[in-house]
Amino acid sequence: MSTDDAQNEQPTWDLDPKFDFIDAHRLPFLDDKVSLKKIDTECSGPFEGKAHGKAFTQAANDEIRDLQYRMFTEGKQSLLVVLQAPDAAGKDGLIRKVLGQMNPQGCRTYPFKVPSSEERSHDFLWRIHKAAPAAGKVSVFNRSHYEDVLVVRVEDLVPKSVWKERYQIINDFEKLLAHRGTRILKFYLHISPHEQLERFKKRLDDPTKHWKLNAGDYAARDKWDAYREAYEDAMEKCHSKIAPWHVIPADKKWYRDASVAAIVRETLRDMDPQLPPLDADLDEIRGLYERELSEMNE
């Protein structure tokens, strides 16, 4: 084989490697304390490297789109994907490269920012419940009701007596959604402080990323441990079979995308949405078609 042939040869990666991404990244259902420090922020899973991971994501996205289309036509079940992460951990990139690849007819992303005065005049779930997916649909939450036990707790925005009641309220809310037929997947994108600073530097060096610069991101770094503890508490108190938390190693962007795509695909496979059965007389419709065809050919 010439050197040119060797260079042109396409790798034959296994695009459905037998690796249990859910088992690897879902928090265990034990009463143990969650310790994010003990969970790696970097991982390559079953992949040979970045190119393999990216090829896998592309294949998984194709299947996700197909399964989502089935769920949309079935019109019974729905899927809620909750994304939480420190700044620059890659929620936007993950939405662009994986979750946003679904058919927009049946999928919508909801970013949750600082609540407006109207939102603040209601209970904290008011704005969230409105965004929960209807039958057949997918909702992706870019931040979520968890901010009300994270930023609100760390920044002391409401008294402890208020936020500490919210864990149970969140569990009851998620139970209500599940009861209606919604599958819930919660992802925490786990990035190291070192990698976060690298990404902040890239934002500084790239004028097309200057719109993302925010002094508040550095203030949050000073409270890294307080946020970590708040996340650990939220995961510990609100982790259930109907609404599990997954901790995704996010230092490598391609692994973040591949592992979330794998878990979403596996969940949709398990939901097994079905195209609706025929609700008409096939012979009659075929007869109508053939009549039209012969009229056109006359």
Residues that bind ligand ADP (CB under 6 A): 87, 112-115, 142-143, 147-148, 151-152, 157
User: Least Å distance between CB 112 and ligand ADP?
Assistant: 5
91 touches 85 (CB < 8 A): yes
Of residues 156 and 172, the one with the C-beta less far from ligand ADP: 156
Element (H, E) at 149: none
User: Least Å distance between CB 212 and ligand ADP?
Assistant: 8
Question: Which residue sits closest to ligand ADP, CB atoms considered?
Answer: 147
- Interaxial angle between packed helices 215-222 and 193-205, expressed in degrees from 0 to 180 and rounded to the nearest 10: 170
Dihedral of alpha carbons 150, 156, 160, 161, sign = negative
Of residues 134 and 213, the one with the C-beta less far from ligand ADP: 213
Of residues 120 and 291, the one with the C-beta less far from ligand ADP: 120
Of residues 78 and 144, the one with the C-beta less far from ligand ADP: 144
183 touches 138 (CB < 8 A): no
Element (H, E) at 287: helix 282-297
Q: Which residues have C-beta within 8 Å of that of residue 17, sequence separation ≥ 6?
A: 45, 46, 47, 56
136 touches 71 (CB < 8 A): yes
User: Least Å distance between CB 94 and ligand ADP?
Assistant: 12
User: Least Å distance between CB 270 and ligand ADP?
Assistant: 29
Of residues 24 and 157, the one with the C-beta less far from ligand ADP: 157
User: Least Å distance between CB 250 and ligand ADP?
Assistant: 14
Q: What is the DSSP letter of 11?
A: P
Of residues 13 and 112, the one with the C-beta less far from ligand ADP: 112
Of residues 59 and 131, the one with the C-beta less far from ligand ADP: 131
Residue 200 CA: distances (Å) to CA of 87, 141, 155, 196: 9, 23, 22, 6
Render 169-238 in DSSP notation, one character per residue: HHHHHHHHHHHHTEEEEEEEEE--HHHHHHHHHHHHH-GGGGGG--HHHHHHHHTHHHHHHHHHHHHHHT
User: Least Å distance between CB 85 and ligand ADP?
Assistant: 8
User: Least Å distance between CB 53 and ligand ADP?
Assistant: 24
